[in-house]
Amino acid sequence: MTAAQPLTGLDPVARHREVAAGFTARVEGVPAGGWDAPAPVEGWAARDVVRHLVEWFPAFLQAGAGVALPSGPSVDDDPVAAWRVHSDGVQALLDDPATAERVLSNPHLGELPLPEAVDRFYTADVFMHTWDLARATGQDETLDPALCEELLAGMEPIEEVMRASGQYGPRVAVPEDATVQTRLLGFIGRHP
pLDDT digits (tens, 9 = 90+) for 74-126: 999 999 999 999 999 999 999 999 999 999 998 877 899 999 999 999 999 99
Q: Are residues 129 and 72 in the same domain?
A: yes
> Has residue 16 got a pLDDT over 60?
yes
- Position 12 in a domain: yes
The answer to whether residue 57 is domain-embedded is yes
Q: Are residues 126 and 162 in the same domain?
A: no
In this structure, are residues 158 and 108 in contact, taking their beta carbons and an 8 Å threshold?
no
Decide if pLDDT at 2 tops 70. no
The reported pLDDT for the residue numbered 6 is 65
The strand ranges marked E within 46-182 are: 103-106, 110-113
Q: In terms of domains, do 138 and 91 share one?
A: yes
Shared domain for 101 and 154, answered yes or no, is: no
Collapsed DSSP state (helix, strand, coil) of residue 26: helix
Give the model's pLDDT for residue 182.
97
Closest CA to 134 of 12, 8, 46, 45: 46
CATH code for the domain in which residue 100 is found? 1.20.120.450
- Would you say the pTM of this structure is higher than 0.85? yes
Instruction: Indicate if the pLDDT at residue 3 is higher than 50.
Output: no
Range of the domain at 37: 7-142
CB 35 within 8 A of CB 45: yes
Written as one letter, the residue type at 84 is R
Domain boundary among 118, 142, 166: 142
State the average pLDDT for the chain.
92
What pLDDT band is residue 21 in, cutting at 50, 70 and 90?
very high
Classify residue 2: in a domain, yes or no.
no
Residue 120, in any domain of the structure: yes
Give the chain's domain count. Answer: 2
Predicted confidence (pLDDT) at residue 160 exceeds the cutoff of 70? yes
> Quick one: pLDDT at residue 54?
97
Q: Answer yes or no: do 69 and 130 share one domain.
A: yes
* pLDDT above 80 for 147: yes
Is residue 191 in some structural domain? yes
4 pLDDT above the threshold of 60: no
Instruction: Please list, residue by residue across 137-167, b when 16 or more beta carbons sit within 10 angstroms of its beta carbon and e when fewer do.
Output: bebebebbbebbbbbbeebeeeeeebeeeee
42/169 Cα distance (integer angstroms): 10
Do 125 and 154 lie in one domain? The reply is: no
pLDDT in tens, 24-64: 999 999 999 999 999 999 999 999 999 999 999 999 999 99
